[in-house]
Amino acid sequence: MEESLANINRRKETYPDIENILKELTGDRRSERNIPKPSADMPSLSELSGMMELLRSVFFPGFFGVGGLGADSTRHRLTSDLDRVFRLLSEQIKLGICFGGGEDDDGPGEICDKYRQAALGMANDFMKRIPAIRDLLDSDVLAAYEGDPAAKSKAETIFCYPSIWAMTNHRVAHELYKLSVPVIPRIISELSHARTGIDINPGAAIGEEFFIDHGTGVVIGETSVIGKRCRLYQGVTLGALSFPKDADGNPIKGLPRHPILEDRITVYAGATILGRVTIGSDSIIGGNVWITADVPPNSRVVPPRSTEPAASDKLSGDATKG
């Protein structure tokens, strides 16, 4: 049965005016939009995610990638995985350099090849650091096992704990950050952030035996420095108080603006530590506290109490002390 003229007219009235929308999207204002140039090939989220899966199998063979391999087969598999990591990483670094700084590239035929040698050098420097990253991750696994009475084995923490997943990505991203690789470290960090809810900027320097219990909602800023054997619980923020600006009102990048945690510090759930303050070694920061000043070593900082603390408590920063 033929559609009635009334129905056809009614459909035209409700259908969007795509032609006009396209004119708005692609008109003279295009140059002001965040649209990559035709010549700027983009780093690939899927390729970088695949590279991290390969690295996970390198750091923890048998847990990730192909399992059930003997010693000779494992060595052969690691050789193959390392070769694939190098090739993937060098290509993605090349694209990252182009994406971050190829402002002078202006021909649709250019695909960032002039950055290939620099990318190969950065990728090679990173590959040399893989054994050191593995050693740090082994210490993180030990911290997770010893720091959580619910953990039945170190293998369980490798396979199940969001802290180990997040720290694997962070240890990789941080080394790339130190090599001044553009954009790729942040992508690797955000891949983990999306999965675990743990947000660690790749610039954060974190010592060995680090553990984040539960993890969801943890935020660690770019210039944070964390010492050895520290532990954070869910919802902890190591953030900045303010963003200084230059004479023209633009934010000044790269200044130290996040906390320093010395060795053997525990920060409980919901605590917020802001600014370039130092938390002294062997201190305990209680849940839901707000800290914007230095804390001396061997301190215990807790929220205000409804009753006076005993003199033997020796609290530091307790608001009940006035």
pLDDT at position 318 is: 46
Better-scored residue on pLDDT, 119 or 98: 119
Name the pLDDT band for 322 (thresholds 50, 70, 90).
very low
b/e code 249-286 from CB counts within 10 Å (16+ = b): eeeeeeeebbbbbbbbbbbbbbbbbbbbbebbbebbbb
Distance CA 127, CA 59 (A): 12
What torsion do the CA atoms of 292, 298, 302, 306 make, to the nearest 10 degrees? Answer: -130
Number of helices (H), then strands (E), belonging to the chain: the values are: 9, 14
Whether the pLDDT of residue 100 is over 90: the answer is no
- The continuous run of DSSP H or E covering 59 comes out as helix 45-59
User: What's the mean pLDDT in 103-114?
Assistant: 56
Better-scored residue on pLDDT, 94 or 306: 94
Listed in order, the ranges of the chain carrying CATH 2.160.10.10 are 204-322
User: What's the mean pLDDT in 238-263?
Assistant: 89
Whether the pLDDT of residue 75 is over 80: the answer is yes
Name the pLDDT band for 25 (thresholds 50, 70, 90).
confident
Tell me if residue 300 falls in helix, strand or coil: strand
pLDDT at position 40 is: 62
The contacts found for 223-226 with CB under 8 angstroms, 24 or more apart, are: 223/255, 223/256, 223/257, 223/258, 223/276, 224/258, 224/259, 224/260, 224/261, 225/258, 225/259, 225/260, 225/261, 226/260, 226/261
Tell me if residue 35 falls in helix, strand or coil: coil
Listed in order, the ranges of the chain carrying CATH 1.10.3130.10 are 35-197
Tell me if residue 289 falls in helix, strand or coil: coil
pLDDT digits (tens, 9 = 90+) for 136-193: 999 999 999 999 999 999 999 999 999 999 999 999 999 999 999 999 999 999 999 9
* Stretch among 37-41, 141-145, 264-268 having the lowest mean pLDDT: 37-41
| CA neighbor of 254 nearest in space, from 145, 187, 180 | 180
Better-scored residue on pLDDT, 59 or 100: 59
CATH architecture for the domain at 35-197: Orthogonal Bundle (1.10)
Whether the pLDDT of residue 313 is over 70: the answer is no
pLDDT at position 321 is: 45
CATH code that applies to domain 204-322: 2.160.10.10
Distance CA 49, CA 45 (A): 6
Whether the pLDDT of residue 221 is over 90: the answer is yes
Name the pLDDT band for 4 (thresholds 50, 70, 90).
confident
**Angle at alpha carbon of residue 278, lines to 296 and 137, rounded to 5°:** 115
- Residue 224 · residue 239 · CB < 8 Å: no
Tell me if residue 285 falls in helix, strand or coil: strand
Query: DSSP class of residue 274?
Result: E
Whether the pLDDT of residue 108 is over 50: the answer is no
pLDDT at position 18 is: 84
User: What's the mean pLDDT in 261-269?
Assistant: 98
Better-scored residue on pLDDT, 98 or 56: 56
| CA neighbor of 226 nearest in space, from 206, 209, 240 | 206
What torsion do the CA atoms of 170, 172, 174, 176 make, to the nearest 10 degrees? Answer: -150
Name the pLDDT band for 8 (thresholds 50, 70, 90).
low
- Residue 66 · residue 93 · CB < 8 Å: no
Whether the pLDDT of residue 316 is over 90: the answer is no
E-state strands within 256-321: 260-261, 266-267, 272-274, 278-279, 284-285, 290-291, 300-301
pLDDT at position 243 is: 78
